[in-house]
Chain A
Amino acid sequence: MERLRKYGFVAGFLVVPLALYSVFVISPYVQAFQLSLTSWNGYSSIVRYVGLDNFGRLFDDEVFWQALRNHGIMLLVLPIATIVIALFLSFLLNLGGGTRGAGMSGVWGSKFYRVVFFFPQVLAVAVVGVLFQAVYRPDADGVINGVLARFGAEPVGWLTEPGLALWSIIAVMIWQGVGFYVVLFSAGMAAIPKDYFEAAALDGAGRVRLFFSITLPLLRDTIQVGWIYLGIAAFDGFALVQVLAGDKGEPDGATTILPVTIYKTAFAYNKVGYASAMGVALFFLTVTFAVLTLRTTRRERVEL
């Protein structure tokens, strides 16, 4: 009887979450893999299987390769820039005040900075996109260009020049992301025993030395987590690109990224099968990246 009651309870608590999750999350994913083998257009009742044709087409698709190149740049620049800036800022916030009494301390005002730095993180990416449209306006009325004009510079087409557009978008991603990693790294730094810094400082190590010889090695795991998050973020960027560059038609494919291409292919060109194949490719790219990062960065843990 008690056993039965227990199983009844377990089943009762699981049925709704399992049903919702299976219907709206798992079934679309499974269908996506299946649809990637078809030429379905989204409305006809006949679903024709074409085998791996879609994937073959991907190889010849210039847009797909352009998107991959852009993701490659983002994959290189976004994590490095974000992590370097965040590490630098959080080091200043937590340990930049030098040795004082019991140990290291942050600079004056670090509480205020921490609140401000994190703020972009709680803003919706779509809102950030609209905001930076004004910042990046190509004529002299843009916020940046207006400031530049004061120094006599010509207005720059931040989002319209093919060589510049992707970098402008990456800059916004860094602008928004740094605060989160400052918090993440600050938590990691707080976990390092204070006497490590004290001992090193007594031995005459300066702040630069403290950073490279103590903070950085002990923060390894946290940085690795950050690296994976940023790598996955480098395969996204949908809302930002859609809002910032979408209407203006992506100068020469300079800002073409897979998520936006998938969205367009499925809902504007009605090629659901082909879009699904792109989704499958995106999935394998993301997983490959995560696995590679975990494997190459795995080392002996530093024991505290």
Chain B
Amino acid sequence: MARNRPRPGVLNGLSHVALAVWALLIILPLLWTFLASFKNNTEIFGDPLQLPGALRLDSWGRAWDKAHIGQYMLNTVVVVFFGTAGTMLFGSMAAYVLARYTFVGNKLIYYYFVAGLAFPVFLALGPLFFVVKQFGLLNSHVGLVLVYIAYSLPFTVFFLAAFFRTLPQTVAEAAMIDGASHTRTFFQIMVPMARPGLISITIFNVLGQWNQYLLPLVLLAGDPDKWVLTQGIAKISTLAGYEADWPGLFAALSMTILPVMVVYIIFQRQIQSGLGSGALK
């Protein structure tokens, strides 16, 4: 057995302990939230390690209807769907042109887009409110979608331009010689070829827009019916205290966490590699 040094068993054991401890630190608060949604108020304010006495589902109904989680969820899905779709369409169009065509101002426009990465959103906050207001788009989902697209463009263009540059030149040239227009070449040849890159950045944008809190807080403040999930949850947490509906709060939290968890477990490979490679570019 020359290939192995004697393995220090203590060290191995310790490393498992360290990993398990961190895993528990993540799982326990989430599990506690989930269990708390089945508890009643007395149980929530009792011993935190106690399990719910019965499987009470009424808090989930209250959270969905009365606390408008259903409404917020629908709003979020609509905004994120159009926001991501728009970001991907316009982002890939701009990135493609900037990566593969030479024209006057190409470099300048590229840097103009990428410059957006350097600024903290907080700097734009005040003026952005008034710009959106001037267009009459305050408290509207259209306004929020357009703002999401605009703020997602710098990273999307940055990432996709790098990606389009790596694609082979020959296929596109062949298509052009066969008489395909520039637009057709893009949608029918280049977009399918760029699929891996497009998927990574789509996941990135879906996550970012789904989790966005600051922009809706500023742009949808005046119309609670239009709120998105993150805003709604933050609001419910303040309300829960007044109305003493703590199980409802935890049901609402569980409802927002569960779909993300399911999507994450299905796509975890793409999500991890997508965010990882995006970060290292």
Residues of chain A at the chain B interface (Cβ within 8 Å): 5-7, 9-10, 12-14, 16-18, 20-21, 23-29, 31-32, 35, 42, 85, 88-89, 92-93, 96-101, 107-110, 112-127, 129-135, 141-143, 146-147, 150, 175, 178-180, 183-184, 187, 201, 204, 206-207, 222, 225, 229, 235-236, 238-239, 242-243, 247, 258-259, 262-263, 266-267, 272, 275-276, 279-280, 282-283, 286-287
Contact = CB atoms under 8 A, between A and B. Distances in A.
A110 to B, nearest CB: 8
Nearest to B128: A28
Given A24-B132, A42-B126, A127-B233, 14 more contacts: A6-B101, A13-B97, A31-B131, A109-B16, A116-B26, A124-B229, A127-B211, A131-B33, A134-B250, A175-B25, A239-B214, A258-B122, A259-B122, A263-B214
Interface stretch (B51-59, B60-68, B111-119, B191-199): B111-119
Nearest to A172: B29
Interface string B239-280: 000000000011001001100110011001001110111011
Nearest to A239: B213
B253 A126 contact: no
B19 A29 contact: no
Nearest to A20: B150
A286 B19 contact: no
29 contacts: A7-B103, A17-B91, A17-B157, A20-B146, A21-B154, A24-B146, A25-B153, A26-B112, A28-B123, A89-B22, A92-B19, A107-B15, A110-B19, A116-B27, A118-B268, A119-B26, A123-B211, A124-B230, A127-B211, A131-B253, A135-B32, A141-B46, A175-B25, A180-B279, A184-B276, A187-B277, A263-B125, A263-B218, A276-B123
Interface string B169-209: 00000000000011100100000000000000000000100
A149 to B, nearest CB: 8
Contacts of B151: 24-25
Given A88-B18, A125-B213, A25 B29 contact: no
B23 A286 contact: no
Contact of B149 (A20, A89, A207, A275): A20
Interface residues of B, number: 101
A294 B177 CA distance: 46
Rank and list the top 9 A-B pairs by shortest CB-CB distance, nearest first. Answer: A146-B48, A279-B123, A24-B150, A124-B211, A28-B124, A31-B127, A28-B127, A9-B182, A126-B230
Nearest to A146: B48
Given A26-B116, A235-B120, A16 B48 contact: no
B131 A243 contact: no
Interface centre among B118, B132, B214 (most CB of A within 10 A): B214
A150 B38 CA distance: 23
DSSP class of B's interface residues: helix, strand, loop or mixed?
helix
B234 interface: yes
Contacts of B153: 17, 20-21, 25
A68 to B, nearest CB: 15
B123 A280 contact: yes
B109 interface: yes
A127 B230 contact: yes
Given A23-B150, A32-B126, A266-B126, A201 B120 contact: no
B4 A100 contact: yes
Contact of B19 (A113, A124, A150, A235): A113
A16 B26 contact: no
A28 B131 contact: yes
A215 B257 CA distance: 36
Given A124-B229, A130-B234, A141-B45, A113 B23 contact: yes
B26 A120 contact: yes
Given A98-B12, A124-B210, A143-B32, A275 B271 contact: no
A192 B66 CA distance: 54
B79 interface: no
A89 B30 CA distance: 21
A262 B271 CA distance: 32
Interface centre among B29, B30, B129 (most CB of A within 10 A): B29
Contact of A122 (B122, B126, B264): B264
A35 B127 contact: yes
Contacts of B12: 96-98, 107
Given A99-B3, A123-B257, A267-B218, A229 B279 contact: yes
A21 B86 CA distance: 12
Interface centre among A17, A110, A179, A272 (most CB of B within 10 A): A17
B211 A143 contact: no
Given A21-B153, A25-B124, A279-B122, A133 B237 contact: yes
A187 B280 contact: yes
A126 B233 contact: yes
Contacts of B207: 122
